[in-house]
A and B are shown apart, each in its own frame.
Chain A
Amino acid sequence: MTWQLFVMALLAGAANWAFRALPILLRRERTATPGWVERSLAAIGPAAIATLCVASLLPMLSSDLLALAPVIGGTLAVVGTYLARPSVVLATLAGAVVHGGMVWLLG
């Protein structure tokens, strides 16, 4: 592992531990958090997920309908499965199965 990759992993891993554990370990009686901090913290999660969702779908978009069909099918499978049963894992697997299945069917 190059030192750059190792340093990047260590910094990200340490931050992950801090983000996940410190708010629990440092928990005290409710202290007032400034409103703007709470609002921006609350928005970062959805913003990050939305950004990653768009960024991961963008390279898959194509003007070729045959290439686009599995992406549309997989996306609809995720949404449909989640609406039927709100489970992130099930919806993810359904999307992947439908996408892979359509690639197989369409050759």
Chain B
Amino acid sequence: MNTEARFRDGLFASLPIVMGYLPIAFSFGVAAARAGLAPGEAFALSLIIYAGASQFLALALFTSGAPVLVAAFTLIAMNLRHVLYGPTLMRAAGPKATTRRAWAWAFGLTDEVFGQALGTLTRGGTFSEAYMFGLGLAAYSAWLTGTLLGAIAGGGALEGWPSLSAGLGFMLPALFLALLLSLLSRRQVPVIVVAGVVTVLATLAISPTSGILLGMLAGAGAGLVRK
């Protein structure tokens, strides 16, 4: 791609993300319905938060009755990694890249959108805000559409389809595992091992919510002490 990437180039590049987001968002919509949320409420969560794992955790925290600030802090801590995406992307885009409309398109900088945009730049593509809008809007639309469809279908939608329900239920662990593989490097192994072990121990000893929070903090601590 030698000319400036266009809006429709971004739309085209988003196709694999759209295919992945639709079923994951559908399963979020179903999970939200099971948790007692109305379709509009599930849609609002996707519209406002727009972060898959955080939204599933938000449901878990909400239904477990966790205090609002503790729940919000957990969700915020979970997405702190996104702080690194913008600078990394703009470094790859080069010094001439404009960011006048980043206040709008950057909200769509999810793990997958970031990965796709960075991959395009790494393969010799050029950066443009129009491309980022195309990439981000299609992914966001798929996320919202999937959520709404899942929430309307309702918590009992998959009762007659146990294998489909099982497949959708495995979507989230599969997504995390794939994301973990995408950022796996020798340098990150101690962080990953510490986070994983602490999560297991704290989950067994205290609770799943504590396991998640303590696992993240322990992993971040392991990163702090490494050379």
Residues of A bordering B, CB below 8 Å = 1, 4-13, 15-17, 19-25, 27, 36, 39-60, 70-71, 74-75, 77-79, 82, 86-97, 99-101, 103-104
Q: Separation in Å of the A26 CB from the closest CB of chain B?
A: 9
Q: Binding site of A, secondary structure by majority: helix, strand, loop or mixed?
A: helix
Is B125 an interface position by the 8 A CB rule?
A: no
Q: Are B220 and A95 in contact (CB under 8 A)?
A: no
In the complex, which residue of chain B has the Cβ closest to the Cβ of A83? B181
Which B residues are CB-close (under 8 A) to A54? 195-196, 199-200, 211, 215
Cα–Cα, bound, A9→B85 (Å): 22
Given B24, B40, B71, B216, which contacts A51 in the complex, CB threshold below 8 Å? B216
If the complex has contacts A24-B102, A103-B163, are A58 and B223 also in contact, measured as CB distance less than 8 A?
Answer: no
Q: Are A20 and B82 in contact (CB under 8 A)?
A: yes
Is B12 an interface position by the 8 A CB rule?
A: no
If the complex has contacts A92-B175, A101-B163, are A24 and B170 also in contact, measured as CB distance less than 8 A?
Answer: no
Q: Separation in Å of the A25 CB from the closest CB of chain B?
A: 6
Within 8 A of A (CB), among B155-211: 162-164, 166-168, 170-184, 188, 191-192, 194-196, 199-200, 203, 208, 211
In the complex, which residue of chain A has the Cβ closest to the Cβ of B193? A50
Cα–Cα, bound, A89→B138 (Å): 15
Residues of B bordering A, CB below 8 Å = 16-17, 19-20, 23-24, 37-38, 40-41, 44-45, 48-51, 53-54, 57-58, 61-62, 68, 71-72, 75-87, 89-90, 99, 102-103, 106-109, 111-112, 115, 162-164, 166-168, 170-184, 188, 191-192, 194-196, 199-200, 203, 208, 211-212, 215-216, 218-224, 226
Which B residues are CB-close (under 8 A) to A88? 20, 111-112, 115, 175, 178-179, 182
Q: Separation in Å of the A30 CB from the closest CB of chain B?
A: 9
Inter-chain CB contacts under 8 Å: number? 297
User: What would 9 more interface pairs be, CB under 8 Å, given A5-B45, A12-B79?
Assistant: A16-B49, A16-B107, A24-B90, A44-B77, A44-B223, A56-B176, A57-B177, A86-B181, A103-B163
Which B residues are CB-close (under 8 A) to A91? 174, 177-178, 181
Which B residues are CB-close (under 8 A) to A71? 170
Cα–Cα, bound, A19→B102 (Å): 12
Q: Separation in Å of the B102 CB from the closest CB of chain A?
A: 4
In the complex, which residue of chain B has the Cβ closest to the Cβ of A86? B182
Given B48, B61, B103, B219, which contacts A48 in the complex, CB threshold below 8 Å? B219
Cα–Cα, bound, A30→B171 (Å): 39
